[in-house]
């Protein structure tokens, strides 16, 4: 029988790609999003690509009453919880908003799920919970450390809350997925990352320099102990990432308690390597200059994703150039993101 799933934050970057992958894998999809950083146009395009409909509600995950109603009315069996705020810098300036949204939202969601008798959950965590990892590649057993910023704290606290919940009640089955650096877009070029403000993350920034919307990339530090002095990260294609969610969701049937998986490609690229590869793939030049290190950044980080391969049968299939090519197809076809086509569905 077709399984119904609820995606919180499904109108955002990763959630919209997940909605598409789930529709294409035969799930019935229901989305709740308060549109603080999501777009109804993304959902319209998801349905266009899939040739299938999803159900969508504008609402907040901190609204327990609405959540309970959705869970029950739509016969939801599992929830993928993407909803949250994700700007590291903003979280330092406005920590209460981050704790309220990310911790308050996860708490309300779990309470509503518990009341509705829904106990399968896939949670969007982040490699940020490892802080500056002691050993690289990072395995899931690597100690989590106290992240320097409130955003990272909310991810670690939410993980702890879910772990306590799974220990207290054996009905819960929870997959915690620690993302490394999601990037790229669906190959159609119809959906992608659409930050409302000036991007904080490298890839959307580089893409917007290539379209001429921004002037030059500031490379935060060229004196790291890495081969070219710039920071190294594990960029993972967003379509690979969401396929990891489909695998984790399928495994929840046979899982008990909470388990954690790294979702990364398993190799790192430096900022300079990314910029050079982007220029090759797009045929555009990307101006850059060197700036001081960004506070809180680490030199290098990449995943050991072998646990996900062993246990979920998942590994990233798409390489850096495909990721950048897809990011460029999206950005060049939609230089203003979804704004030109935003409408209500």
- The binding site for ligand WQD (CB under 6 A) comprises 86, 88, 126, 128, 181, 200-202, 205, 217-220, 231, 233, 271, 294, 297
Whose Cβ is closer to ligand NAD: residue 84's or residue 266's? 84
Which of ligand NAD, ligand WQD, none does residue 220 bind to, with CB < 5 to 8 Å depending on kind?
ligand WQD
Applying CB under 6 A, the span of 65-73, 83-91, 111-119, 310-318 interacting with ligand NAD comes to: 83-91
Q: Which residues of 190-201 are buried (b: 16+ CB within 10 A; e: fewer)?
A: bbbbbbeeebeb
Among 193, 136, 138, CA closest to 324: 193
Applying CB under 6 A, the span of 31-39, 114-122, 203-211, 332-340 interacting with ligand NAD comes to: 31-39
> For residues 138 and 130, what is the distance between their CA atoms, to the nearest angstrom?
8
Q: Is 184 in the site for ligand NAD (CB under 6 A)?
A: no
Structure-token pair, residue 67: 């959540």
Q: Is 69 in the site for ligand NAD (CB under 6 A)?
A: no
Applying CB under 6 A, the span of 7-15, 212-220, 250-258, 297-305 interacting with ligand NAD comes to: 7-15
* CB-based contact 83:6 (threshold 8 Å): no
Structure-token pair, residue 132: 């500056």
Active site residue 151: yes
Q: Is 192 in the site for ligand NAD (CB under 6 A)?
A: no
State in angstroms the smallest separation of the CB of 125 from ligand NAD. Answer: 6
Q: Kindly write down the DSSP assignment for every residue of 76-144, as one continuous string.
A: --EEEE--S---HHHHHH-HHHHIIIIIIHHHHHHHHHHHHT--EEEEEEEGGGG-S-SSSSBPTTSPP
State in angstroms the smallest separation of the CB of 1 from ligand NAD. Answer: 28
> For residues 198 and 53, what is the distance between their CA atoms, to the nearest angstrom?
32
> For residues 249 and 246, what is the distance between their CA atoms, to the nearest angstrom?
5
Q: Is 152 in the site for ligand NAD (CB under 6 A)?
A: no
Q: Which of 12, 147, 199, 325 binds ligand NAD (CB under 6 A)?
A: 12
Burial of 188 (0-12, 13-18, 19+ CB in 10 A): middle
Q: Is 83 in the site for ligand NAD (CB under 6 A)?
A: yes
CA end-to-end span of the chain: 28
Whose Cβ is closer to ligand NAD: residue 85's or residue 217's? 85
Whose Cβ is closer to ligand WQD: residue 100's or residue 297's? 297
Which of ligand WQD, ligand NAD, none does residue 219 bind to, with CB < 5 to 8 Å depending on kind?
ligand WQD
Which of ligand NAD, ligand WQD, none does residue 88 bind to, with CB < 5 to 8 Å depending on kind?
ligand WQD
State in angstroms the smallest separation of the CB of 101 from ligand NAD. Answer: 5
> Given 151, 205, 269, 338, which residue is catalytic?
151
State in angstroms the smallest separation of the CB of 195 from ligand NAD. Answer: 8
Block residue for tokens 């229901």: 30
Whose Cβ is closer to ligand NAD: residue 17's or residue 28's? 17
* CB-based contact 330:324 (threshold 8 Å): no
Q: Kindly write down the DSSP assignment for every residue of 31-55, as one continuous string.
A: EEE--SS--HHHHHHHHHHHTS--E
> For residues 166 and 284, what is the distance between their CA atoms, to the nearest angstrom?
49
* CB-based contact 339:213 (threshold 8 Å): no
Residues binding ligand NAD (CB under 6 A): 8-9, 11-15, 32-38, 60-62, 82-86, 101, 105, 124, 126, 179, 182, 201
Q: What residues act catalytically?
A: 151
């Amino acid at each position: 029988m077709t399984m119904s799933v609820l995606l919180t934050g499904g109108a955002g970057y990763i959630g919209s790609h997940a909605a598409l992958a789930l529709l294409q894998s035969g799930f019935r999809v229901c989305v709740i999003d308060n549109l603080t950083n999501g777009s109804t146009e993304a959902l319209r395009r998801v349905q266009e690509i899939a040739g299938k409909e999803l159900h969508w509600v504008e609402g907040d995950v901190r609204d327990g009453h609405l959540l309970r109603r959705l869970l029950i009315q739509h016969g939801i069996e599992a929830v993928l919880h993407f909803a949250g705020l994700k700007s590291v810098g903003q979280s330092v300036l406005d920590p209460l908003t981050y704790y309220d949204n990310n911790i308050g939202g996860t708490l309300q969601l779990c309470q509503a799920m518990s009341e509705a008798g829904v106990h399968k959950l896939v949670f969007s965590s982040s490699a940020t919970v490892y802080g500056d990892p002691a050993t690289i590649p990072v395995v899931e057993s690597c100690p989590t450390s106290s992240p320097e910023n409130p955003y990272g704290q909310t991810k670690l606290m939410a993980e702890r809350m879910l772990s306590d919940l799974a220990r207290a009640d054996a009905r819960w089955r929870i997959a915690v997925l620690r993302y490394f650096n999601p990037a790229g877009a669906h190959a159609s070029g119809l959906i992608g990352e659409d930050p409302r403000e000036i991007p904080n993350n490298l890839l959307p920034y580089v893409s917007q320099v290539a379209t001429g919307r921004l002037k030059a990339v500031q490379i935060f530090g060229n004196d790291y102990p890495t081969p070219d002095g710039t920071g190294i990260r594990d960029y993972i294609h967003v379509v690979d990432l969401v396929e990891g969610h489909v695998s984790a969701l399928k495994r929840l049937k046979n899982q008990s308690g909470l388990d954690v998986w790294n979702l990364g490609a398993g190799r790192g690229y430096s900022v300079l390597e990314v910029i050079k590869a982007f220029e090759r793939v797009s045929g555009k030049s990307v101006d850059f200059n060197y700036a001081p290190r960004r506070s809180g950044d680490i030199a290098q980080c990449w995943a050991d994703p072998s646990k996900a391969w062993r246990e979920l049968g998942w590994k990233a299939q798409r390489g850096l150039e495909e990721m950048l090519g897809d990011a460029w197809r999206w950005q060049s076809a939609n230089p203003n993101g979804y704004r030109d086509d935003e409408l209500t569905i």
